[in-house]
């Protein structure tokens, strides 16, 4: 096998598999979660809407702030909030502290979605630990924390992908 000056092995032609596997793992988890959500009262939830609801957060937020988190304009965020409101996941109320703002809050349905998601993620991680062993999963998480750039954890996935 080829080697770099520092002795690290360089396997040629297989590097493309790593990102494919990382995204495959991500997609499997998100896909399984959404299958589960669809079976429990949330059939119209997509990964894109899931990200948006995460951007709203349990404490609520405003359209402008959601736009910043999602990497889109406040106008686009406002339209997304309208959709989520139409689907019953959020509700908007006037901010008594600030006459300009309208607070976007999770509705009971939206909160149910977030709670079910958290439970589902825990369940899926436990399943990975059952199959691979707890240490292997923790090692994977630790290694990814080491290698992933800090700015890779933003919620602006759709905006990022299309460049």
Partner DNA sequence: ACCTTTTCGTCAATCACGTTGTCGAGTTTA
Partner DNA sequence: TAAACTCGACAACGTGATTGACGAAAAGGT
| Residues found near DNA in the complex (CB under 7 A) | 48, 62-65, 67, 71-76, 78-80, 83, 92, 97-103, 158-159, 162
What SS3 class is residue 58? coil
Of 16, 59, 99, 100, the one binding a copy of itself (CB under 8 A) is: 16
Is residue 158 a contact point for a copy of itself (CB under 8 A)? yes
Decide: 53 and 84 in contact? Cβ < 8 Å: yes
Is residue 130 a contact point for a copy of itself (CB under 8 A)? yes
What residue 9 binds from a copy of itself, DNA, none (CB within 5 to 8 A, per partner kind)? a copy of itself
What SS3 class is residue 102? strand
Of 37, 49, 56, 80, the one binding a copy of itself (CB under 8 A) is: 49
Backbone φ and ψ of 3, nearest 5°: -135, 150
Backbone φ and ψ of 54, nearest 5°: -60, -35
Write out the two tokens for 99: 């006459």
Is residue 26 a contact point for a copy of itself (CB under 8 A)? yes
Which residue, 32 or 159, has its beta carbon nearer to DNA?
159
Question: What does R_g of the chain's alpha carbons equal in angstroms?
Answer: 20
What SS3 class is residue 16? coil
Specify which residues 91 forms β-bridges with. 105
Is residue 40 a contact point for a copy of itself (CB under 8 A)? no
Point out which span in 61-69, 84-92, 102-110, 129-137 binds a copy of itself (CB under 8 A). Answer: 129-137
């Amino acid at each position: 096998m080829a080697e770099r000056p520092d002795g690290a092995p360089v396997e040629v032609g297989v590097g493309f598999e790593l990102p494919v596997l990382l995204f495959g793992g991500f997609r499997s988890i998100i896909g399984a979660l959404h299958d589960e959500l669809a079976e429990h009262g949330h059939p119209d939830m997509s990964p894109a809407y899931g990200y948006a609801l995460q951007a709203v957060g349990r404490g609520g937020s405003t359209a402008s702030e959601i736009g910043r988190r999602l990497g889109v304009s406040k106008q686009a965020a406002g339209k997304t909030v309208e959709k989520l409101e139409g689907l019953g996941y959020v509700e908007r109320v006037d901010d008594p502290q600030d006459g300009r703002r309208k607070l976007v809050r999770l509705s009971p349905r939206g909160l149910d979605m977030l709670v079910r998601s958290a439970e589902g993620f825990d369940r899926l991680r436990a399943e990975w630990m059952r199959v691979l062993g707890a240490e292997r999963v923790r090692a994977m998480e630790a290694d990814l924390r080491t290698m992933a750039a800090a700015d890779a954890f933003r919620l602006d996935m759709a905006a990022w992908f299309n460049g």
